[in-house]
Chains A and B, each alone.
Chain A
Amino acid sequence: MISRQTKREVALGLKSLLQHKLRSTLTLLGLVFGVASVVAMLAVGEGASEEALAQIRKLGSNNIILVTRKPTGIDSNDNVRMSIYGLTYEDQQRIAETIPGIRRGVPVKILPKQGQLDARKLDLRILGTTPDWFELVKRDLIAGRLLDVTDEARRNPVVVLTEHGARRLLATHEAIGQPIRIDGIVFEVVGIIGDETLAAEGAELADQEVDAYVPMSVARNRFGDVIEQRSSGATIREKIELHQLVLEAESIEVVPRVAAAVDYALKRFHPVKDYEVNVPLALLRQAEASKRTFNIVLGSIAGISLLVGGIGIMNIMLATVTERTREIGIRRAIGAQRRQIIRQFLIETVTLSSVGGLVGLVLGVAIPVVITQFAGMPTKITFFSLVLAFGISVALGIVFGIYPARRASRLDPIEALRHV
């Protein structure tokens, strides 16, 4: 039931807004920034947590990822000696035998090897792993099949290409069943799987830019553990048994305990720290903590801007009430009750703050777009955040409009009519 008079009161609000363009603009600035930062804050928070969650979900919140790291102090200039470091087969076995709460462990070897399909020859990044890997990292099977337990047990010389690898080798569906030479050894291409980029700060599964997968047993047996890389005349030789060991805990609750136990167990056999224990669950916590910090900062900006904006609105409304003292006197003399005067000025204040709120929404929608564009941060604007931000501006109009409106209503009609 919006009467003509209510529309009239809204129109009055808009009119006085337009009458004093500069004053209104300056007044509403605080509110505009406040509302905009509410929207931006929620968008950034939503985007960040969505991305973090997605990444962590991919890494698996039940997983503990052990990664080989080259220890500092190992001299790579020495071209005679060979650097030996990292996780070992023995580590894997020891962990499996002594630490409870682990469902399975998946070892990973990273092998930079030369591959040749038909006449095409290039450097490939090959991963040696067990079939369980494909349980941890689920991807589409494009053609053929995955590595299976039989391949692992029988040391079948088979290879599964990734979409990335297939593209580089110019392999198509027809490559299934074809031979591919890796370091001179003939493998059979049995499948092609889709790519998946996995990355999270501080931890990654060794699955980026991988061209092909071979059974762990084959990798170990045929290629051994020594990796030779030539760079600028020198030959770097390193002996690394396992590049990664992904442990899947039985439940999310035991993750921290298992991670601590694993770290403790490894420490005893690795006097030089040449591995890292990454827990996606901990990353999740960390992501949540940093999001909270971010929210506190943006929330404070929003809060202060909104407070300043509200005070600005109150100020302008007090000025309006003074300017229109005579009008208020007329209305009271005619017979308007105090609450009708309050209503009128509240409607005007809310009209004002709603306009500020709308401008703030536009700005608030624009900011996350800019953030994503230039800072590469993911953002997500939810409908809820828009409703909330607009609701705040309306509420602000009511809260900071009450005092001026009450003041208007308390004017003495006789005095007010004398006002020039």
Chain B
Amino acid sequence: MDEPAPIEAEVQDVRKIYRIGDETVNALAGVSLQFRRGEFWAILGSSGSGKSTLLNLLGCLDRPTSGRYLLAGRDVSGMEDDELSHIRLRHLGFIFQNFNLIPQSTVEENIQLPMYYLGIHDHESLPRAQELARLVGLGQRLKHTPIQLSGGQQQRVAIARALANNPNVLLADEPTGNLDSATGEEIMRMLGDLHRQGKTIIMVTHEPDIAAHASCRLYMKDGRVERIERGPMS
């Protein structure tokens, strides 16, 4: 076998404690994981297992109560809001269950958005947005707004948007949750292609069929790692 791929993201004994009134909730009760470049992870678990909290932490949308989070070799757990925003913009791409496109903006404008926030000028970002739209098969829908598109098309726009700044890591939160199974399969094929192109993908799902596309499966329970499976699903 080859040398193992470099570590893309690593959490070291991260905990997340919420205080709701007098009650404390251990959403994450000490999780340590390594995600290597080019891996495709599926995180599974029942609701309340801490899988969404973990994804939010990995996505730099939230900070751990304790523990460390290293992304591309940098400790991001103590970063300020602006730095975290920049990390999200540069290194991460998000794909959501309900697509989360800007409703007033067109397809190409939605794809342009991350590039705009990075300060890339229109004459550069617009052609790239159009190219990405073609890549996900929406070259003919550039001027459409999200409500004019089907769910599958919207999710493809979201994927194109997630790829706009060419991040190493894609984070997907139930990406097929709002799609019928055929369309869901289509989206999963697209993620599979991206995985083969070398992207690191971390996906939260509760459907075993969907998790089957991943190369690693992480089962969570009560804020802890229950087990990890590698290789094709048995």
Residues of A within 8 A of B (CB): 3-5, 8, 12, 15, 326-327, 329-338, 340, 413-414, 417
Within 8 Å of chain A (Cβ to Cβ): is B199? no
Within 8 Å of chain A (Cβ to Cβ): is B226? no
* Docked complex Cα distance between A65 and B136 (Å): 90
The residue on B at minimum CB distance from A340 is: B117
Q: Is the CB of A331 within 8 A of B104?
A: no
Q: Is the CB of A333 within 8 A of B59?
A: yes
Contact of A8 among B81, B86, B109, B121 (CB under 8 A): B109
Asked, given contacts A3-B121, A4-B122, A327-B102, whether A334 binds B86 with beta carbons under 8 Å apart, the answer is: no
Q: Is the CB of B126 within 8 A of A335?
A: no
Query: Considering the complex of A and B, which 10 residue pairs feature the smallest CB-CB distances, nearest first?
Result: A335-B89, A335-B88, A4-B122, A337-B85, A5-B116, A330-B100, A336-B117, A413-B61, A335-B85, A337-B82
Within 8 Å of chain A (Cβ to Cβ): is B56? yes
Within 8 Å of chain A (Cβ to Cβ): is B15? no
Interface of B is mostly: helix
- The residues in B between 81 and 110 inclusive whose CB is less than 8 angstroms from any CB of A are 81-82, 85-90, 92, 94, 96, 100-105, 109
Within 8 Å of chain A (Cβ to Cβ): is B113? yes
Contact of B122 among A3, A12, A326, A414 (CB under 8 A): A3
18 contacts between A and B (CB under 8 A): A3-B121, A4-B126, A8-B105, A327-B102, A329-B100, A333-B88, A333-B94, A333-B100, A335-B92, A335-B117, A335-B165, A337-B81, A337-B82, A337-B117, A338-B82, A340-B117, A414-B56, A417-B100
Q: Is the CB of B126 within 8 A of A417?
A: no
* Docked complex Cα distance between A334 and B94 (Å): 7
Within 8 Å of chain A (Cβ to Cβ): is B161? yes
Using Cβ atoms and an 8 Å threshold, which residues of chain B touch A8? 105, 109
Shortest A328–chain B CB gap in Å is: 10
Using Cβ atoms and an 8 Å threshold, which residues of chain B touch A417? 96, 100
The number of chain B residues touching the other chain, given as a range, is 20 to 34
Q: Is the CB of A333 within 8 A of B61?
A: yes
Shortest A186–chain B CB gap in Å is: 91
Shortest A74–chain B CB gap in Å is: 83
Interface residues as binary, B105-135 with A (CB distance below 8 Å gives 1, 0 otherwise): 1000100111011100110001000000000
* Docked complex Cα distance between A36 and B126 (Å): 41
The residue on B at minimum CB distance from A410 is: B81
Q: Is the CB of A334 within 8 A of B61?
A: no
The residue on B at minimum CB distance from A420 is: B98
Q: Is the CB of A334 within 8 A of B114?
A: yes
* New A-B contacts (14) at CB < 8 Å, excluding given A4-B122, A333-B59, A335-B88: A3-B116, A5-B112, A8-B109, A326-B100, A331-B102, A332-B85, A333-B61, A334-B88, A334-B113, A335-B117, A337-B81, A337-B86, A338-B81, A340-B117
Using Cβ atoms and an 8 Å threshold, which residues of chain A touch B13? none
Using Cβ atoms and an 8 Å threshold, which residues of chain B touch A12? 104
Within 8 Å of chain A (Cβ to Cβ): is B62? yes
Q: Is the CB of B90 within 8 A of A335?
A: yes
Using Cβ atoms and an 8 Å threshold, which residues of chain A touch B96? 417
The residue on A at minimum CB distance from B162 is: A334
